Amino acid sequence: MERYRIDHIGDQRMERNRSDESLAANASTRAPSGAAVMRSSVTDALTRAFFEEWAQTGLGALSLERVAKRAGVGKAALYRRWSSKQDMAIELIKTVGLNLTPIPNSGSLLGDLRLILLSLRQTLRHPLVRRILPDLHAEMARTSALSAEIRNTLQYERRERGKVIVDRAITRGELTASADRDLANDALASILYWRVVVTGGRVSRVEIDKIAQFIAAGLGRQ
């Protein structure tokens, strides 16, 4: 499954104030007259620049002008894609957030829990993620529109995907039909977040196994 990783987002530098993005080199199709081609390389550069600025300044103090400058493009290229800082934050969080931690299918509940925890550990170790997540939660408490968008889309979709792990375990007979899907989601996210982001601790593979077994037992694994 493709992973949209923050640390793999392209860092190409484009000429400042370039207004003719439609002249993409080696383009296989010609855009309609007057239309601007949205170069993926420019979008990737802006995406990485946005998260780097966010990690450095916090979302409240983030400037889209500085994002464009860091990406090496003109402001017009940024505003062609996003109309505001909030729109940019919401879209990029949803795009990156849903793909950072794919839902595995190992064939067993413990196996699935281990794989999810390992994937979450890798994500939470990323220096940008460790800085951005606490700030995002603080901004959600201050900004109702941002909070609503994140909770009603990203968090909802992620939790629905997480419930699949429990449903599979029920089908295999590892859990009873009354197993708490919300508890599984809460436990997977909160334990690692507290260990890695809040306390700045390390989580070994042995501890990953212990956490997986702890969650499985709490769900009533047969």
Give mean pLDDT, residues 50-64: 96
The answer to whether 6-83 and 101-218 have equal CATH topology is no
For residue 30, pLDDT over 70 is answered with: no
Give the predicted TM-score (pTM) of the model: 0.74
Contacts of 143 by beta carbon, 8 Å cutoff, 6+ apart:
86
pLDDT digits (tens, 9 = 90+) for 138-156: 999 998 888 988 888 778 8
Ramachandran sector of residue 220 (left: φ over 0; alpha: ψ -120 to 50; beta: rest): left
CATH number belonging to domain 6-83: 1.10.10.60
The answer to whether the beta carbons of residues 82 and 88 sit under 8 Å apart is: yes
pLDDT digits (tens, 9 = 90+) for 107-130: 999 999 999 999 999 989 999 999
| Residues 141, 53: Cα–Cα separation, whole Å | 21
In this predicted structure, what is the pLDDT of residue 160?
A: 87
Domain extents for the chain? 6-83, 101-218
Fold classification of 101-218 is Tetracycline Repressor; domain 2 (1.10.357)
| Residues 166, 159: Cα–Cα separation, whole Å | 11
In this predicted structure, what is the pLDDT of residue 159?
A: 87
Give mean pLDDT, residues 162-180: 95
Question: Two tokens at 86?
Answer: 């909030």
